[in-house]
């Protein structure tokens, strides 16, 4: 179990709806999850509350596949429902670990969906097991669920408050009981969570693009350290105790994870990425014939670079839109194989041309190396790489699949060495200050741990991997 637990670092999407009507709320969650599919492609699930019961369905794969063949229609009509899309690391990708976590406890039927990653899971699990708790999965989300139940004394709000005082790490939660929908964001606001409304519904989602998908109007973001209870009495806010002085939202949400049409904590992801491209053009110019982005996450920044530099934006890579993201495939072989069918060079556009290639980040370097080779094989005379974030030098233990220093090309290579390893003509990254400038519209602080090693919580045991590497 300890070996499995050490591998659980996930990036997921959560969605919930509370309706004044008894209706097909599962379909609302389905469309919300569909809009959040980019946050997790390995499993998905929906749970519906009806008549003091909870019925759920979970499966491995994409939302459309899991709920095909009448599986969505099997879920009953109700007034509350939550859903989850999950990405996990190798070793934890199994149906047993799919969410939401559904169980019967002191507050009756409950369901919990979680985006993020706890860093004190083992300690909490051991304490709960010593108190006779029984675990069915290897995920920290079940630890959260059982901890809430054990501390609730039949009052779900008290259970959530008490549990949150013990949790360390990142968490955006949607929790459902027979009569309540609860949204929770960790004290640092590391993972995003927002609230929207329709005439009859209150909707909670990881990103605003999911609100748009179900016709909900954005109401506000859930605050860092806030517990929002939605029930027949309306929407009520409760704040956790002893909150930190500043927030530390994961800046990688702006760099990569969030969909570009999302607004996070009041600032457009699209605007942040476009400004990042402009800053690359201002600070790291190079003579070239065209600017192109690695689709899709690099395209917005590439257009910003083109606008600022005056070099035309031209598509260099065609993307097969039926293939998911390569960075969040569960193992390296799948990442590399999926790239071969995911992208194809547009030879007529790049043959004999000097290409500036814009991407959001470089993690392992294997994907970028193959893309550069693709472009050269298709006739590009030069390939200059520009990256909309700093060099990723440190692992993340707060919800992104960057577990160890040995996975990161930037942990042991500088810019010039990375350029040589990738086979590019030049490679330039934004600095941390430049990345922060691209997100200038956001109040509060950011977690920059993967760039500078400074996290809201101590890195702790993860330092051992760096020592081995050195």
Q: What is the CATH number of the domain that holds 114?
A: 3.60.20.10
On whether residue 191 sits in a domain, the answer given is yes
CA Rg value for the chain: 22
Residue 7 pLDDT exceeds 90: no
Closest CA to 189 of 153, 220, 156: 220
pLDDT per position as a tens digit, 23-81: 999 999 999 999 999 999 999 999 999 999 999 999 999 999 999 999 999 999 999 99
Same domain, 66 and 187: yes
What pLDDT score does 322 carry?
Answer: 64
The reply to whether 412 falls in a domain is yes
Q: Which domain holds residue 196?
A: 2-245
In tens, the pLDDT along 162-203 reads 999 999 999 999 999 999 999 999 999 999 999 999 999 999
33 belongs to a structural domain: yes
Considering 218, 245, 272, which residue would you say is the last residue of a domain? 245
Residue 178 Cα distances to 55, 83, 102, 162, 165, angstroms:
11, 15, 12, 20, 24
Residues 376, 378, 383, 387, CA torsion sign: negative
User: Is residue 250 assigned to a domain?
Assistant: no
236 and 268 assigned to the same domain: no
Q: Are residues 267 and 239 in the same domain?
A: no
pLDDT tens for each residue of 264-321: 999 999 999 999 999 999 999 999 999 999 988 899 999 999 999 999 999 999 987 6
Cis-peptide, bond into residue 100, ω within 30° of zero: yes
Query: In the chain, how many domains are there?
Result: 2
Is residue 252 one of the residues assigned to a domain? no
In a domain? residue 394: yes
Alpha carbons 204 and 14: distance in angstroms, whole number: 8
Residues 277 and 364 in one domain: yes
Question: What is the value of pTM for the model shown?
Answer: 0.90
What secondary structure letter does DSSP report for 39?
Answer: G
Q: Which is more confidently placed, 40 or 335?
A: 40
Mean pLDDT score across all residues of the chain:
89
| Residue 451, in any domain of the structure | yes
* Whether pLDDT at 325 is above 60: no
Residue that terminates a domain, selected from 210, 245, 280: 245
Same domain, 333 and 454: yes
Residue 255, in any domain of the structure: no
CATH number (domain holding residue 407) = 3.40.50.2020
* Per-residue model confidence (pLDDT) at position 332: 55
Is residue 328 located within the same domain as residue 391? yes
Model pLDDT, residue 330? 54
Cβ-contact 149, 162 below 8 angstroms: no
65: left (phi over 0), alpha (psi -120 to 50) or beta: alpha
* 308 shares its domain with 390: yes
Count of beta carbons in the 10 Å neighbourhood of residue 82: 33
The verdict on 144 and 272 lying in the same domain is: no
Q: Point out the domain boundary residue: 201, 219, 245.
A: 245
- Do residues 282 and 400 both lie within one domain? yes
What's the CA dihedral at 230, 233, 236, 238 to 10 degrees? Answer: -90
* 400-415 pLDDT, tens digit each: 767 788 889 999 999 9
Task: Render pLDDT for 116-149 as a digit per residue (tens, 0 to 9).
Answer: 999 898 999 999 999 988 888 888 899 999 999 9
Residue 398 binned pLDDT confidence (cut-offs 50, 70, 90): confident
How many CB atoms lie under 10 A from the CB of residue 364? Answer: 18
Question: What is the reported pLDDT for 297?
Answer: 83
Residues 30, 46 contacting (CB under 8 angstroms): yes
Q: Which of 172, 243, 250 is nearest to 455 (CA)?
A: 250
On whether both 417 and 322 belong to a single domain, the answer is: yes
Residues assigned a catalytic role? 12
Residues 446, 426: Cα–Cα separation, whole Å: 29
* pLDDT above 80: residue 333: no
Q: Is 234 exposed, middle or buried (0-12, 13-18, 19+ CB in 10 A)?
A: exposed
Asked if residue 9 has pLDDT above 50, the reply is no
Q: What is the pLDDT of residue 360?
A: 94
pLDDT at position 320 is 78
Claim to verify: residue 276 and residue 177 sit in the same structural domain: no
Residues 211 and 267 in one domain: no
Residues 141-162: tens digit of each pLDDT: 999 999 999 999 999 999 999 9
């Amino acid at each position: 179990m300890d070996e499995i637990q050490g591998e659980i670092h996930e990036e997921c999407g959560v969605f919930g709806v509370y309706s004044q009507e008894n209706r097909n709320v599962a379909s609302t969650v389905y469309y919300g999850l569909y809009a959040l599919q980019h946050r997790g492609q390995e499993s998905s699930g929906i749970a519906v509350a009806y008549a003091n019961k909870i019925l759920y369905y979970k499966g491995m794969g994409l939302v459309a596949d899991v709920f095909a063949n009448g599986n969505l229609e099997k879920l009953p009509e109700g007034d509350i429902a939550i859903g989850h899309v999950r990405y996990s690391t190798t070793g934890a990708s199994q149906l047993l670990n799919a969410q939401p976590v559904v169980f019967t406890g002191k507050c009756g039927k409950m369901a919990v969906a979680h985006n993020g990653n706890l860093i004190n899971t083992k300690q909490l699990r051991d304490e709960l097991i010593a108190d006779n708790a029984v675990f069915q999965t290897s995920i920290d989300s079940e630890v959260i669920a059982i901890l809430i139940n054990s501390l609730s004394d039949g009052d779900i709000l008290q259970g959530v408050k008490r549990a949150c005082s013990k949790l360390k790490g990142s968490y955006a939660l949607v929790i459902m009981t027979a009569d309540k929908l609860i949204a929770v964001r960790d004290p640092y606001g590391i993972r995003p969570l927002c609230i929207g409304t329709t005439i009859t519904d209150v909707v909670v989602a990881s990103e605003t693009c999911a609100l748009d998908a179900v016709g909900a109007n954005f109401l506000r973001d859930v605050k860092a350290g806030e517990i929002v209870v939605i029930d027949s009495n309306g929407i009520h806010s409760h704040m956790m105790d002893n909150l930190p002085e500043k927030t530390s939202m994961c800046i990688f949400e702006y760099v990569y994870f969030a969909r570009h049409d999302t607004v996070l904590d009041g600032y457009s992801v699209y605007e942040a990425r476009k400004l990042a491209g402009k800053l690359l053009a201002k600070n790291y110019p190079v003579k070239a014939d065209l600017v192109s982005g690695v689709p899709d996450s690099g395209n917005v920044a590439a257009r910003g670079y083109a606008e600022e530099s005056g070099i035309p934006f031209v598509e260099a890579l065609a993307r097969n839109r039926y293939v998911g993201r390569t960075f969040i495939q569960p193992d390296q072989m799948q990442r590399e194989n999926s790239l071969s069918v995911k992208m194809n060079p547009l030879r007529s556009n790049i043959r004999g041309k000097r290409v500036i290639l814009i991407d959001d980040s470089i993690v392992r370097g294997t994907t970028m190396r193959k893309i550069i080779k693709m472009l050269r094989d298709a006739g590009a005379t030069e390939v200059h790489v520009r990256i909309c974030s700093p060099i990723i030098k440190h692992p993340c233990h707060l919800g992104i699949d960057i577990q160890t220093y040995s996975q990161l090309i930037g942990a042991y290579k500088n810019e010039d060495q990375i350029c040589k390893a990738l086979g590019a003509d030049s490679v330039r990254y934004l600095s941390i200050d430049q990345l922060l400038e691209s997100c200038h519209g956001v109040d509060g602080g950011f977690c920059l741990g993967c760039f500078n090693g400074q996290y809201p919580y101590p890195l702790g045991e993860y330092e051992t991997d760096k020592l081995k590497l050195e």
